[in-house]
Chain A
Amino acid sequence: MIVMRERSIVPGVVLLFLAAWFGFAVALAKHYGLDVSLGVSTGLQAAIAALAGISGAIYFLLSDNLGPSLKAAQLLVVLGICCFLLGSWYGLFVAPPETYMGQVQRIMYVHVPTAWNALLAITFGFVAAVVFLFRSDWKWDARLEASIEVGVLLCFLLCCQGAIWAKPTWGVWWDWDPRLTTTAVLLFAFLGILALRRFVEDPLRRAVWSAVATIIAYVDVPIVYFSVKWWNSLHQQQSSPQTVSSQFYLPLRMNAFGVLFIMTGFIMLRSRIARERVEQELAPPLPVQGEMQEAV
């Protein structure tokens, strides 16, 4: 059955704190004339923030049981919402509008974080699928279901935001550029997997089949990307922090970590639900009232 291991919440919190500190707190303090960088250079700060953020999220995702309640996941969601609100406030009211695109560009502060985190969620789902096929551990099936569902949600949001941004900028809602098209294909592929999970009643078959389908669909993503890239291309080139002023990347990072925390919390909550359901399905049926009395 499903084995649960108790784990301490402390390392995860430390990692996320490091991420938030070097990700945006340093830059935010600098904006107000404070230096809290502890002598770490800018490039190193970004590296530490990204590593600590992702490993902190992974720590939370991989810990089966952080105490008896769902406090950890709820805490993450609240923390994420705080980061996200802060980042959105900064992005909407503090950061200056961009020279060429004007106010429209501000959607980048949610669009890019959504894209990063959608990819992270789907990748985590792929890892969960591979681990499930090797280990046949139900925890990984629950994680697969949770991360695919959250990933699909993020992909859907990504497509909507992309369309909202594309209309005033390119003049069309949709364009057949590699990243857009790949996101759409990804969305439909994983929606198909979610539908498959709904239609298979046997929990073992459902787990194995959706893991297989996830692996196949994930392998497809780079091929779709390159084939559409050859076919047609228009999307913006990625900018690096060197080419962007700190006022632009600050809200971006706050939102990135905000969405990351919310996503992690959601995946934790959702995988708890999935796990409970599998437990219920795998449990032997309760004896009927009459039989019990006979047995007594």
Chain B
Amino acid sequence: MIAMLRKELLLQWRTRAQFMAVFVFGAASLLLFSFAIGPNAAALRTFSAGFLWLGLLLSSTLTLSESFHAEMENRALEGLLLLPTSPRAIYYAKAIANWLQLAALGFALVPVMVVLYDAGATDVGKLMLTILLGSAGLAAPGTLYAAMTAQLRAKQTLLPLLFFPLIVPALLASVKATSLAVLGDPMEQGRSWLTLLLAFVAIYWSLCGLLFGRVVEE
């Protein structure tokens, strides 16, 4: 599995131009969200957490749908499945790689949010933790669905269609936790949202790992 993870990370490093493109896409969507609200600094600051996560979510579909791109060429996935490892190792390597990439994307989008929406975080540690957990929540089901839809004709449509309704709890908890980290948290509610996020992450990382074997088998 470690070797598999190394392969994934190496692949991502080699295609870092794509990461840049996705980042620019995310930043551009953050810019566009502000036009939807209008130049109202207070409102923008209030909704900044929601915009950050929507931007990350939209960019994540690009990252995820690309993540099985290499495996689809020359039937490389079948080659991987022939290796003496379980498909679970492939899944977790993919998911961890996707998680790291999404988290990096999230961290990269934070300065954009701070600049555009004047939303400086009052609690940077908690913001970091939320982005890490939230992107883990996106990566687990996202990788599984990417594996399914990568082989289909209409993958650009189907991936969000399957993926978006599912991650509502993760999105909700991440947005709440982030906005508490940005706007201040007098009632100490941030902890309970992070717990919810952690529960979501734990459930989906185990469930999707369990089911992935059935998705890729022939």
Contacts and interface: CB of A to CB of B under 8 A. Distances in A.
Given A199-B154, A231-B176, A216 B214 contact: no
Contacts of A195: 157-158, 161-162
A156 interface: no
Contact of B165 (A199, A211, A217): A217
A223 B215 contact: no
Contact of B168 (A193, A211, A224): A224
Contacts of B192: 230
Interface string B149-177: 10011100110011011101100110010
A185 interface: yes
Interface in A169-222: 181, 185-186, 188-189, 191-193, 195-196, 199-200, 208-209, 211-213, 215-217, 219-220
Contacts, number: 83
B164 A133 contact: no
A217 B152 contact: no
Contacts of A196: 148-149, 158, 161-162
Given A215-B207, A223-B203, A227-B173, A208 B215 contact: yes
B10 interface: no
B148 A216 contact: no
B214 A227 contact: no
A208 B173 CA distance: 30
B215 A217 contact: no
Given A185-B168, A216-B141, A216-B144, 6 more contacts: A196-B148, A196-B161, A196-B162, A200-B152, A212-B215, A224-B169
Given A195-B161, A212-B144, A220-B169, A230 B196 contact: yes
A228 B165 contact: no
B41 interface: no
B199 interface: yes
B133 interface: no
A185 B152 CA distance: 24
Interface residues of A, number: 30
Contacts of B193: 230
B174 to A, nearest CB: 11
B200 interface: yes
Interface string A14-40: 000000000000000000000000000
Contacts of A133: 211, 214
Given A219-B203, A227-B172, A189 B152 contact: no
Contacts of B165: 185-186, 188-189, 192, 217, 220
A211 B211 CA distance: 10
28 contacts: A185-B165, A186-B165, A189-B165, A191-B161, A192-B165, A193-B162, A195-B161, A196-B148, A196-B149, A199-B152, A200-B152, A212-B144, A212-B148, A212-B214, A212-B215, A213-B145, A213-B148, A215-B207, A216-B211, A220-B166, A220-B168, A220-B169, A223-B169, A223-B199, A227-B168, A227-B169, A227-B196, A231-B176
Nearest to A217: B166
Nearest to A223: B169
A212 B149 CA distance: 13
Contacts of A211: 214
Nearest to A189: B165
B81 to A, nearest CB: 14
Contacts of B164: 188
Interface in B182-200: 192-193, 196, 199-200
